[in-house]
Amino acid sequence: MEIKQLKYFVEVAKREHLSEAALELDIAQSAISRQITQLEKELHTILFRREGRNIYLTDDGKQLFSEATKIIDQLDKTVRLFHNQSESNHFTLRIGYVESYVSQVLTSLIQAFENESRSIIEPMLMEEDEILNALMTDQIDIGLTELTQNIKQSKDIYVKALFEENFHIYVPKDDPITMATNPPLKQFSNKYLYELYSLPVNIKQLLTQFIKTPIHTITHPHLAQYLLNKERGYIITPSYHLLERRPQTWTAISLEHTELKRTICSIVRQDNQKNDIQLLQSMIEQLLSRNATYH
């Protein structure tokens, strides 16, 4: 039994007339007759009673009409469901991003984009090592992540370096290290460090090459301020995380001159044909691109 046969049968049953059904379906009357005959043979029954030029449903025909109508209605609903999902998916752009300065401007990006587009953005915070695979397996449309060798070597994606992310260390105001000009990381080797929020994995790995003491994680600025007030250690954090200014209590030392930095880029598959993908790329570049030295 084929869906085509059921559709032909239903059209004939509605009209109880072969030629009218043929006109509606835009096919030859003989083709309809042939398909209904095959259906009757398969079901081992007679579906229509023929009286001259007129045809009428038999009892078995009425039963099949009831069931076939349900099947075709469900089929139509299923087709509409997937069509709607496909259209909805075409107007949904998924951004996978790592924790970085991107988080600070993501709301502005989404608002600006959705004011100019019918599409919507679904943001997804992801781990660094998840984003490239998610892009290549169509789980996301654009990735905002660190520029790595794997990304540089990929031939199937468009890559745009956006900005260089740097770090700084908050230290007590009277600490002797505040007198140093551009102190190298090794000068912090015996200092007690706290990371305010988790540092990127590769940044922490690089830092531990210079720092001999354990680096502990804290997740609230108030705790960082308390530790600085009590001179209990230094606080290291990305430059976009700012503590309340208290020049009489602590100061921030930039680490921009050190190896502690990473480049954030946008990546998108070159075969992505989604609606407004180019508009989103353009707005990301306008909002996030900064002059910097990229590595």
223 pLDDT tier (thresholds 50, 70, 90) = very high
What is the rounded CA–CA span in Å between residue 84 and residue 114? 20
Band (pLDDT 50/70/90 cuts) for residue 292 is: very low
Q: Judge contact between 162 and 291, C-beta under 8 A.
A: no
Run of H or E residues at 190: none
Give the CA-trace dihedral at 204, 189, 191, 214, to 10 degrees.
40
Q: What is the CATH number of domain 164-261?
A: 3.40.190.10
Indicate if the pLDDT at residue 188 is higher than 90.
Answer: yes
Residue 230: both structure tokens together: 């009590």
The CATH number of the structural domain formed by 3-89 is 1.10.10.10
Mean of the pLDDT values across residues 169-194?
Answer: 93
What is the DSSP track for 116-166? H-S-EEEEEE--GGGHHHHHHTTS-SEEEEE--HHHHH-SSEEEEEEEEEE
- Sequence ranges of the domains in the chain: 3-89, 93-159+274-288, 164-261
Output the pLDDT for position 147: 95
Q: What is the mean pLDDT of residues 112-135?
A: 93
Give the angle 239-242-244 at the CA atoms, nearest 5°: 155
CB 69 within 8 A of CB 11: no
Class of the 93-159+274-288 domain?
Answer: alpha beta
Domains 93-159+274-288 and 164-261 share a fold: yes
Q: Name the pairing type of β-strands 142-146 and 48-51.
A: unpaired
pLDDT at 113: 95
Return the pLDDT at 245: 80
Which pLDDT score, from 0 to 100, does residue 2 have? 85
**pLDDT for the residue numbered 291:** 46
Point out which residues pair with 109 in neighbouring strands.
none
Over the stretch 58-89, which tens digit does the pLDDT of each residue have? Answer: 999 899 999 988 998 888 777 766 655 555 56
Q: What is the pLDDT of residues 124-175, one digit of tens each?
A: 999 998 999 999 998 999 999 999 999 999 888 999 999 999 999 999 998 9
* Mean pLDDT over the full length of the chain: 89
Phi/psi for 191 (5° steps) reads -85, 155
Residue 237, helix vs strand vs coil: strand
Nearest CA to 234 out of 171, 166, 168 is that of 171
- Lowest-confidence segment of 98-112, 160-174, 235-249 by average pLDDT: 235-249
Token pair listed for 121: 């953005």
- Residue 9: its pLDDT value, please? 87
Element (H, E) at 96: strand 92-97
Phi/psi of residue 233, nearest 5 degrees: 160, 180
Give the Cβ contact number of residue 43 at 10 Å: 13
